[in-house]
Amino acid sequence: MSASQAESQMMQILIGGACLVIIVAGMRAMAHVLNIVFLAWLLAYAILPLPNWMMRHRVPEALAVLGTLLIVIFGGIALAVVMSYSIVGLGQRLPTYETNLTDTYSALVNYLAARDIDLAQVRPLEWLTPSRVIGYARMILGQIGNLLGNTLLLVLLVAILLFEFLEEDKRLLESRAEKRPIISIFQAASSDVQAYVAVTSTTGAVQALTNIILYLALGIDFALTWGILFFFMNFIPIIGGFIAIVPPVALGFLESGVMTAVAVLVLFTINNLLWDNVLKPRFMVKVLDIPFLLIILSIIFWSWVLGSVGTILAVPLTMVVRNLYYRDITGPSKEG
């Protein structure tokens, strides 16, 4: 390799790195907008098999699309109603929870003081004061409320993207013989994302249903809400389940005491260990071929770029980037 060629390659690497930095910085700056668009993109991919299934069973395309959109709209409305009801209910019960938490905190302080333990040295107690905990709870409820305020825009974007995906499928079929690189990339990315959504949705729905039954049996308030929360948190690999278990365990503790909280935690762990550590990883590796390290790195990167929503979008977005990378290093010979 000549010196000029080496210099040219180095310049390409530097320019490519600079472009990547600019793109990532722009995505971070526009995260509040991109989050809604990317979520709509993921939801559209999730429901895309439904109109395709209808059309395969001789349902006219217009009716198939209309039926799918109605399902999306009514599903979104139902979800918004359930979550809004839960937010209002939790907001009304926060004073009761604060009272229970204050009593528990006071009992803990008295217990430590009776054993001559210097409270100033127990730093975690500074973060567990009732006012702080309830303040965090109010902040989280407010963020969820803001997210629900974007539900209409999200549903509208899903409808538009659904039309686009159906039309794109037609164009891909019509131009398949051309073997254009962008077509193979789109097909590979679509297949991977749909497979990921299918596996995650199926396993998440089964786990969520089991958890709802568990919460109802233990008398946890808003059991349906926590089941729905788990379903969506299931799209966050590795840490999603830990996030979803916090509210029901906390409510079990505040409403019925330590034993109920421990029961919720133990039964939840037993139920989900089988899926998260035995069954689901096998499906993921077999269907999607996602290395564990890649999942961890994608969560870290996309949560840094897009915020908390990036944890949900991490795997699908990484699939798209991976397909672009594989296409770049393998060339046209790998198409098809």
Residues 253 and 193 in one domain: yes
CA distance to 166, 187, 328, per residue, from 181 (Å): 20, 10, 10
Q: What is the number of residues in the chain?
A: 336
What's the pLDDT tens digit per position in 266-283? 988 888 877 766 666 666
- Region for 307 from its dihedrals, namely left if φ exceeds 0, alpha if ψ lies in -120 to 50, beta otherwise: left
* pLDDT score, position 61: 74
Residues 47 and 168 in one domain: yes
Residues 246 and 326 in one domain: yes
Residues 201 and 330 in one domain: yes
Residues 325 and 186 in one domain: yes
| Contacts with 67 (C-beta within 8 Å, 6 or more apart), sequence order | 50, 51, 54, 59
Which residue blocks in the chain are alpha helix, DSSP H?
Answer: 3-29, 31-47, 49-56, 61-114, 124-127, 130-149, 151-174, 181-218, 223-233, 240-256, 258-274, 280-283, 292-306, 309-330
DSSP, collapsed to helix, strand or coil, labels residue 104 as: helix
Q: Report the pLDDT averaged over residues 230-240.
A: 83
Residues 170 and 54 in one domain: yes
Check pLDDT > 50 for residue 334.
no
Cβ–Cβ under 8 Å, residues 214 and 267: yes
Check pLDDT > 70 for residue 28.
yes
Compute the CA torsion angle 282, 286, 287, 288 (nearest 10 deg): 90
Cβ–Cβ under 8 Å, residues 181 and 332: yes
Nearest to 38 by CA among 193, 225, 183: 193
* pLDDT score, position 332: 47
Top-ranked range on mean pLDDT: pick from 22-26, 57-61, 80-84, 288-292: 22-26
Residue 196 inside a domain? The answer is: yes
Residues 124 and 197 in one domain: no
Residue 24 inside a domain? The answer is: no
Residue 120 sits in which domain range? Answer: 30-174
Q: How many domains does the chain have?
A: 2
End position of a domain, from candidates 119, 145, 174: 174
Of the candidate ranges 112-116, 136-140, 198-202, the one whose mean pLDDT is the lowest: 136-140
Which residue in the block uniquely carries the two structure tokens 């003081």? Answer: 113
Residue 303 inside a domain? The answer is: yes
Cβ–Cβ under 8 Å, residues 237 and 314: yes
Residue 10 inside a domain? The answer is: no
